[in-house]
Amino acid sequence: MSITIKSPSDIEGMRTAGRLASEVLDMLAAHVVPGVSTERLDQLAHQHITQVQQAIPAPLNYTPPGYVPYPKSICTSVNHQICHGIPNERPLKNGDIVNIDVTVIKDGWHGDTSRMFVVGEGSIAAKRLCTITYDAMWRGIAKVKPGARLGDIGHAIQSFAEAQGFSVVREFCGHGIGQKFHEEPQVLHYGRPGTLEELVPGMTFTIEPMINAGRREIRELGDGWTIVTKDRSLSAQWEHTVLVTDTGFEVLTLSAGTPPPPAFISPGN
């Protein structure tokens, strides 16, 4: 499979889908409180995407090869869940951390983004993990420019996270995105600089590192989707959809409530 290069009109469609995905997270933010269930968050997201945005939640009934259909409209991964957590009726507790992953399809284009939320008062360790993971994502994004290599992104993320005493999940990665949910290339969150595909303007892909407080080993739960840390340590993830521009990068999953970039990201990249 080849990497699709997006035209200016394609990119406009991607910007719209990306903004809508981010606006779902803006809407949900006020609802992520102790006592709410992830099932309720899924209901709110589904209603907003389908009724307000007149769009489609990409995860609902998504069935990649070897998987059963995903049963919900968003992914909610709590505490030691790494990714693909299925919303359920269990209330969130004070101190939980949760990743909410939203992918919206609008006019055929996909926008994919996720954020970490701390429920109530989180521990210092949990908040540090979320912050370091956010910075790791942005260190990867900062490497995006024409002529760079995908390995530069992975190396920036891995070297930073491991220097903080954390580990990087290797079994899941970022991915190309456009009219398909998952396209080429795969975007690893570890690796060696100067390796893998060269970046060219018009490429769009996600950068979505999964960082564990303990060891990097994972296991899959019996639902066929939820991935957890093998040692039950906390895990965090952030995700943006990124465009390679003529001069650097553009983050496509931005909205009014998007957390600002870290201080080391210069305006205009």
The reply to whether 269 falls in a domain is no
Q: What is the mean pLDDT of the chain?
A: 97
Tell which residue, 224, 251, 255, has the closest CA to residue 239. Answer: 251
The reply to whether 264 falls in a domain is no
Domain that holds residue 189: 8-251
Average pLDDT of the segment spanning 47-67: 97
The reply to whether 256 falls in a domain is no
pLDDT by residue (tens digit) across 23-41?
999 999 999 999 999 999 9
Eight-class DSSP state of 214: S
Q: Are 223 and 176 in contact (CB under 8 A)?
A: no
The reply to whether 150 falls in a domain is yes
Whether the predicted pLDDT of 175 surpasses 80: yes
To the nearest whole percent, how much of the chain has pLDDT over 70? Answer: 99
The reply to whether 258 falls in a domain is no
The reply to whether 109 falls in a domain is yes
Whether the predicted pLDDT of 158 surpasses 70: yes
At 67, which CATH number? 3.90.230.10
- Give the number of domains in the chain: 1
Residue type at 128? Answer: R
Please give the pLDDT value at position 268: 57
The reply to whether 241 falls in a domain is yes
Residue 152 backbone phi and psi in degrees, to 5: -65, -40
Tell which residue, 50, 189, 176, has the closest CA to residue 112. Answer: 176
Task: Indicate the pLDDT class of residue 269, thresholds 50, 70 and 90.
Answer: low
Whether the predicted pLDDT of 1 surpasses 90: no
Whether the predicted pLDDT of 2 surpasses 70: yes
* Cα separation, 24 vs 105, whole angstroms: 12
Please give the pLDDT value at position 42: 98
pLDDT by residue (tens digit) across 212-233?
999 999 999 999 999 999 999 9
pLDDT by residue (tens digit) across 80-108?
999 999 999 999 999 999 999 999 999 99
The reply to whether 1 falls in a domain is no
Helix (H/G/I), strand (E/B), else coil: 100 = strand
